Amino acid sequence: MDTLFSIIIILASVLLVLVVYVQNPKGGGLSSDFGAAQQIGGVQKTSDFIDKATWTLAGTIMLLSVVITLRTKTPEPVMQEQAQQEQNQNPAGKGQPAPTQKK
């Protein structure tokens, strides 16, 4: 599931870059190409679509990043549990035989 979320985040990131490149910071962008007089409302609809696409993609990236972070287990407790299990199995230390007592 995390792999699927990661792939979606990567695709959304690439699309977000493309959408941002289409925009013009001064309000031109792709919508300025459709500024002909015979296209009534075309400029506004294009600009609205690009704006909504930008916010949707950014929101998707943020939401899925939070979901993946919450689903991911922290490795520290696992490492501590493994160390305790190894200690319980071999109380003398790692890889060393238990000391023998002389009679």
Q: Could you tell me the two tokens for 57?
A: 């993609």
Residue 61 forms part of a structural domain: yes
Q: Could you tell me the two tokens for 61?
A: 């990236």
Residue 26 forms part of a structural domain: no
Residue 93 forms part of a structural domain: no
How many structural domains is the chain composed of? 1
Residues 6+ apart with CB under 8 A from 5: 64, 67, 68
Residue 41 forms part of a structural domain: yes
The tens digit of pLDDT for each residue in 42-101 reads 556 778 888 899 999 999 999 999 999 998 876 666 666 777 777 777 665 555 555 676
**pTM of the predicted model, to two decimals?**
0.56
Q: CA-CA-CA-CA torsion for 77, 81, 84, 90, nearest 10 degrees?
A: -140
Residue 86 forms part of a structural domain: no
Residue 84 forms part of a structural domain: no
Which domain does 43 fall in, by range? 1-19+36-73
Residue 24 forms part of a structural domain: no
